[in-house]
Chains A and B, each alone.
Chain A
């Protein structure tokens, strides 16, 4: 119930202020352009590189979005409203991770069509598997992302500290995301790469559980 209230508030904030998704989309487009121009690539190279490139873009825009999400809580000291209310810190963590995932998914829906067009990709017919990979991938990114943003939000250099902490911690998950995307893109059957999906799921479980338990120590000044 409280969880629903908090997620609804995060989405309403984005709906009113429009400070998260649009910058994420614009930044993502810029990265695609830079990559396309600097590699001046043939279609074969694009095909080989695109799974990795896709997740680099997602990682960059998610760190942008996470930073913005937590800065919004700092303005006007608005976070105190939630902190002083009778809401468990674990619920605050879950709401941040889930609303972050929702915002990231929306940004991905915007960024993937131009990505496919600019990179001249042909998409396998079983695209719904990719949706599943994106969903699990985003959950993992946002679970550790919410923990790390909580740690860095009050720091002096929060926008710099966030990626420095975030990228190495999330790297095993990104490896798994890239691997599964790659195998899916090459059209290998699921049996061959189920390991990576399991690795992603265990990452999601570990850090959702850990964040839920540990957020108590992060939120307070």
Chain B
């Protein structure tokens, strides 16, 4: 049994990721242009959108890991699915927090039933169920299989959720994420930097969780 940070390389990577995040915040605060009408509120766009993208990506990972787990029942796929679900849900919670923070000054209200936010909320609730299934589903060997199934089912639900809430409200509002290609390069570049850094952060967190899950699993088996 080995602590994650007892490996020198992991400490170095951790410090590196931390530095990158500090740089990212500094970069966004100082080196991005002020958007008229939005001012400081617009800065959250550089976090909100990459986090949302990575959140959805991690649910894609949950589905793929689920399929692989059902095919060959390797514990590592189960752990990958679980870890991705956890971090994905954390990111989705951040999306649900940053969204209203942006919405309050721009739309004048904390919450609107806007398609992307609503999809995110429903997805969050599905994953609350996912963790409850993991916790109360019975013996862990079966629960792993069930969680894999739920991950697949949830992913197939996403496009339908999106289309149903997209046309649910007739009026259509602007988003934190406006079409990237039409943006000023002064905005696009820091955005892309932020996206890359948050992806690195995500992979590091995933690696950490995978390590912890593996260690606890091995301890239970012994």
Contacts and interface: CB of A to CB of B under 8 A. Distances in A.
Assess A/B contact in the complex (Cβ within 8 A).
yes
Interface of A: 144, 147, 151-152, 154-157, 161, 164-165, 167-169, 171-173, 175-176, 179, 195, 199, 202-203, 206-207, 210, 214, 217-218, 221
A175 B165 contact: yes
Interface in B132-180: 132-133, 136-138, 142, 145-146, 148-150, 152-154, 156-157, 160-161, 163-165, 167-168
A203 B160 contact: yes
B129 interface: yes
Given A156-B137, A217-B148, 15 more contacts: A147-B149, A154-B137, A154-B138, A165-B129, A168-B126, A171-B161, A173-B160, A175-B164, A199-B160, A199-B164, A202-B160, A203-B160, A217-B70, A217-B149, A218-B146
Given A169-B126, A172-B164, A217-B148, A210 B137 contact: no
**B interface, by DSSP: helix, strand, loop or mixed?**
helix
Contact of A168 (B125, B146, B149, B165): B125
A214 B133 contact: no
Contacts of A207: 153, 156
B42 to A, nearest CB: 31
B133 A179 contact: no
B202 to A, nearest CB: 24
A154 B142 contact: yes
Interface of B: 70, 122-123, 125-126, 128-129, 132-133, 136-138, 142, 145-146, 148-150, 152-154, 156-157, 160-161, 163-165, 167-168
Contacts of A156: 136-138
Nearest to B162: A172
A147 B153 contact: yes
B145 A217 contact: yes
A202 B150 CA distance: 19
A171 B120 CA distance: 13
A156 B167 CA distance: 38
Contacts of B157: 169, 172
B126 A155 contact: no
Contacts of B122: 168, 171-172
Which 8 pairs, one residue from A and one from B, show the smallest C-beta to C-beta distance?
A: A172-B164, A168-B125, A165-B129, A175-B164, A172-B161, A168-B126, A172-B160, A164-B129
B73 to A, nearest CB: 10
Contacts of B167: 195
Contacts of A161: 129, 132-133, 136-137
Nearest to B69: A217
B160 A151 contact: no
Given A155-B138, A210-B156, A214-B149, A172 B163 contact: yes
A206 B152 CA distance: 12
Given A161-B129, A168-B129, A221-B142, A206 B160 contact: yes
Contacts of B150: 151, 165
Contacts of B145: 217
Contacts of A210: 152-153, 156
A165 B135 CA distance: 13
22 contacts: A147-B153, A151-B133, A151-B146, A151-B150, A156-B136, A157-B136, A165-B126, A165-B129, A168-B123, A168-B126, A169-B154, A171-B122, A172-B157, A172-B164, A173-B164, A199-B164, A203-B160, A207-B153, A214-B152, A214-B153, A217-B149, A221-B142
